[in-house]
A = this chain, B = another copy of it.
Amino acid sequence: MSDSQAEPIFSLPVRVYYEDTDSGGVVYYANYLRFMERARAEWLRSLGFEQDVLQRHEGLVFAVQRAEIQYLRPAIFNDLLAVTAKLCARGAASMVFEHEVRRESDATICCRGRIKLACLSDRTLRPKRMSDELLAEIANVL
């Protein structure tokens, strides 16, 4: 793309409920991975793709291969968070996302993640090339 303007980064608002916290008074560390997956799902939907349709029509599913998470500041009960999803690399059968979890009230970055996904056939669970349509859409936002 010769477009000089930066693509806006996709961001999903996530409210912290009791279910997300632990008795340490903060969001339980595994739950940030749930928030990041929600953001990836909504990012894909914003491009016009529903994961249940991709599976039904193309037999395509996504599986996380690698996750690297940095926990910077705790998010707490009732926080309103913004969870970004930014595609930062892709192959024919893989995508790498960077995520930030930011508290809206004071712009604190609570957590950063880098997640690598494999695109798999839902039958064989072996790598499967994304459709041209999906690859084209993704190329636009990369």
Contact (Cβ within 8 A) A63 B69: no
A29 at the binding interface (Cβ < 8 Å): yes
A108 at the binding interface (Cβ < 8 Å): no
Complex partner residue of A33 from B24, B30, B41, CB under 8 angstroms: B30
Interface string of A76-119 (1 = CB under 8 A from B): 11100000000000000000000000000000000000000000
Q: Kindly state the separation between the CA atoms of A71 and B65 in the bound complex, as whole angstroms.
A: 5
Q: Which residue of B lies closest to A64 (CB)?
A: B29
Count, chain A residues at interface, CB 8 A:
38
A133 at the binding interface (Cβ < 8 Å): no
Complex partner residue of A63 from B17, B51, B67, B71, CB under 8 angstroms: B71
Q: Which residue of B lies closest to A23 (CB)?
A: B21
Q: Which residue of B lies closest to A114 (CB)?
A: B68
Complex partner residue of A23 from B50, B63, B67, B76, CB under 8 angstroms: B76
Complex partner residue of A34 from B15, B17, B71, CB under 8 angstroms: B17
Task: List 17 interface pairs A-B (beta carbons < 8 Å), by A numbering.
Answer: A15-B38, A19-B34, A22-B22, A22-B23, A23-B25, A23-B26, A30-B37, A50-B78, A51-B77, A52-B76, A52-B77, A65-B70, A66-B71, A67-B69, A68-B68, A69-B69, A74-B125
